[in-house]
Amino acid sequence: MLRLNIHRNAKILRFLFILFGALIATVLIAVYWVASGVQTTTYRTSWIGNTFGGGAKWVQNQVIDMYVSPDGTVYTNSPWDEAGREAGVYKNGDAIAKAEDLHGWERFGGIAVTASRQYMYVAMSQGHVDGKDTEYPAKGKSWYCVRRYDLSGKPTPIPNGKGWDKSMLVVSDKNQVSGLATSGSELYVAIKDENKLRVYNTQTLEEIRSFSVPNPTKIAVDKQGVLWIMQNQKDGAVQISHYTKTGNRLPQVINNVPGANAIAVDNQNRLLVADNGKNQQILIYDTKNKPQIVGTFGLKGGIYAGKPGEVGDLKFYGITGIGVDAKGNIYVNSSGFNSGENTQQMKTGTDIRKFSPSGAMQWRVVGLPFVDNADADPKFDGLHLYTVHDHYVMDYSKSSGKQWTYKGYTLNPFKYPQDIRLRVAHGSPFVRRIQGKLFIYFTDMFGGFLHAYRFNPATDGEVAIPSVMFQGTPGLQEEKIKPGSWPPNQPQIGDWIWQDKNGNGAFDKGEFDASPRDYPYQGGWWVDSKGDVWKTLRIPEGIRHFPLQGIDAKGNPIYTYSSMKKLATPAAIKDIRRIAYFPETDTMYLSGFTERYPAAYDDGAHFGSEIFRYDNWSKGNRKERWRIAVPYDPKASSEVLTASMDIAGDYVFIVTVKTAEVYVYNKTTGGFVTKFKPGPEVASESGWIDIPYGIRAFRRASGEYLVFVEEDAKAKVIMYQLPKKIQVQTASSN
């Protein structure tokens, strides 16, 4: 027994020795990594606005058409998705595939999609590529095609097919495919601007016949093999007509849905029509004789029913696709709103939902932001975030990518049809509390204007109301604005400020404050915590300060040119770009190009090569406390440069364009602290930073930092969570 105890004790001692040795080795490795400059700051990567974090899975942007197969597989098509999922495939709440080789080499998606039991058919276009004349269209030409894929997303060759892999059926060299459907062995292809519907064999893709249909778009085939075809009318209305598959027009017509935007046939052979007008509903028709509405699906008014803008399971917004599977489950896609018929304009996102026949939501996938960033409402300690169109509520106790809940869609095209977000879908918000009231200021992808929005929850719920707009002098040679330029009623010469004096959110006469022409090339915008607006122009006297003059009776901030102050650019900055001022400490941060690090070429979107901090700014001090040389390589392409900056708590945060790396500097000393980049939670990847305010930072009451970074590739905003004391990287690699 004694010998057994001795043996056991020897094993324990050996185990402890090994454990101690491992601990010493771990410490030595850690010391080595720190001494070698390996980043030691712990941070967490998360994301906002997409169901999936990236890698092989993300929800594409701007779905324009959707087809649902009998087994519930969802096929989608978009004119453009930055990361290449123009045509996506979804099932059971998962992104299971995409149409391959549909991005780059002048290939684009389209506005129609369908599938059979064997193939997926995708409307797409192929442009000319220099040096590729045999496999691509001639210079100055494009092919408008149907491309055939197997159900896993791989292109399949066809007899007499075009393109490098012979998978493209060229339908037209002038007009895009506007609708697709299959029935048995036949593929129906609508070409709206040719007033034509062509019929092809699904296996050979040889044309069988064609017939005339005025302005055809979406197509649905009922269980008798008869076609329902949406047709655009000259007055902007939509008519849904009934045709035999050989082209004979039948008497049944639906013409009382002014917002009709998608159609499908359900498992009961009823016709479903998406009303994308004010109703934002699915209308259900019995079509046995004269079409009669026998039901609706979704709340009347969509996202604007009940509390306007508040997201709800049965509240739709910008319906672009509907479908029904063999079990009667209903699928609806919302892609937000954009003015006009230009499908190359980006919508606000993709929101695909599956419902049971009784209306209970089964699953939902979304891809909401694109060329967009988030900012925090300072009143709620980072729990409420806003992008250009959307409101999210956060729960930081949850895992990465699960912390956000989609709370509100802040755009209402029916009540505020002149909202600039209907025309310009990209940009970055500044979220501010001014005199306790919530405002969002928004600038576009190029920083050409600054637009302010107010909120009135009692009348508009989650909707942001157009309030104030700053417009700089256009960079045109003409002295006057051309007649008919948007927005209406603007002054013809120089800068202007619009204020929504009557509260209707429209650009009415008498609501503009005009100024003589100023320098047309802007560097940046800033809204400080008091509500003052700052603008930089790329000239020696290049800082414009608009002090807030109060809030009017309608709730709009008041700014005037008579109160505007012109300030000189500090001499060390030869080309000023970004600006950030903090009235609480009277501290100014500026970026730009300098004599020491000049710009390699002229590009108004660039951030500059250095950042400067000035204390006691309002007292006239122009001696910098410090200056930082930021990542910028004048000998390289524009990819190697800094995009944006923000300041929060003890730190200055910047982000680079192509690598999307965040650099952190000590706000007091200007010293480099650390840098970090997207972690494994988002597949260690990011798209480029495409906007001048692609980074936002916020310090919570606990001291934790939230850093939001635009991610333009896969329809999301990346969010980093950092400790209140960020570990200094000992060997700087900036």
Query: Quick count: other Cβ atoms within 10 Å of Cβ 493?
Result: 14
Query: How many residues appear in the chain?
Result: 734
The tally of CA atoms less than 13 A away on the side-chain side of residue 373 is 35
Q: pTM of the full predicted structure?
A: 0.92
Q: Does the pLDDT at position 676 exceed 50?
A: yes
What span, in angstroms and rounded, lies between the C-alpha atoms of 678 and 686? 7
**φ, ψ of residue 664 in degrees (nearest 5):** -120, 130
41-58+570-734 carries CATH number 3.40.50.2300: no
Residues 243, 250 contacting (CB under 8 angstroms)? yes
Per DSSP, 641 falls in state: B
Number of H-type helices and E-type strands within the chain: 2, 51
Q: What is the pLDDT of residue 236?
A: 78
Which of these ranges, 37-46, 165-174, 374-383, 499-508, has the smallest mean pLDDT? 37-46
Q: Is the dihedral of CA 401, 405, 410, 412 positive or negative?
A: positive
Residues 293, 273 contacting (CB under 8 angstroms)? no
Which segments of 324-456 does DSSP mark as H helices, in order? none
Q: What is the pLDDT of residue 477?
A: 53
62-367 carries CATH number 3.40.50.850: no
Q: What is the pLDDT of residue 435?
A: 96
pLDDT tens per residue, range 85-126: 999 999 999 999 999 999 999 999 999 999 999 999 999 999
Q: What is the pLDDT of residue 179?
A: 98
Integer-rounded Cα Rg, in Å, for the chain is: 29
* Residue 654, SS3 per DSSP: strand
pLDDT tens per residue, range 617-655: 999 999 999 999 999 887 766 566 899 999 999 999 999
Phi-psi region of 340 (alpha: psi -120 to 50; beta: other; left: phi over 0): left
Average pLDDT of the segment spanning 704-710 = 97
In the numeric block, the tokens 């996202």 are attached to: 303
What span, in angstroms and rounded, lies between the C-alpha atoms of 141 and 125? 11
Per DSSP, 361 falls in state: E
> Where does the pLDDT of residue 331 fall: very low under 50, low under 70, confident under 90, or very high at 90 and above?
very high
What span, in angstroms and rounded, lies between the C-alpha atoms of 730 and 31? 11
Domains 41-58+570-734 and 62-367 share a fold: no
Q: What is the pLDDT of residue 8?
A: 34
SS3 content of the chain, % helix, strand, coil (to 5): 10, 40, 50
pLDDT tens per residue, range 445-488: 888 899 999 999 999 999 999 999 999 888 755 567 777 889 99
* Residue 420, SS3 per DSSP: helix
Q: Where are the beta strands (DSSP E) in 235-371?
A: 238-243, 249-254, 260-265, 271-275, 281-286, 292-297, 319-324, 330-334, 350-355, 361-367
Residues 499, 468 contacting (CB under 8 angstroms)? yes
Q: Does the pLDDT at position 31 exceed 70?
A: no
What span, in angstroms and rounded, lies between the C-alpha atoms of 161 and 712? 34
Mean of per-residue pLDDT scores for the chain: 90
Q: Does the pLDDT at position 572 exceed 90?
A: yes
Average pLDDT of the segment spanning 192-206 = 96
> Where does the pLDDT of residue 347 fall: very low under 50, low under 70, confident under 90, or very high at 90 and above?
low
What span, in angstroms and rounded, lies between the C-alpha atoms of 325 and 363? 14
What tokens were used for 79? 């004119």
Q: Does the pLDDT at position 180 exceed 60?
A: yes
Which segments of 206-294 does DSSP mark as H helices, in order? none
| Every domain of the chain and the residues it spans | 2-36, 41-58+570-734, 62-367, 382-515
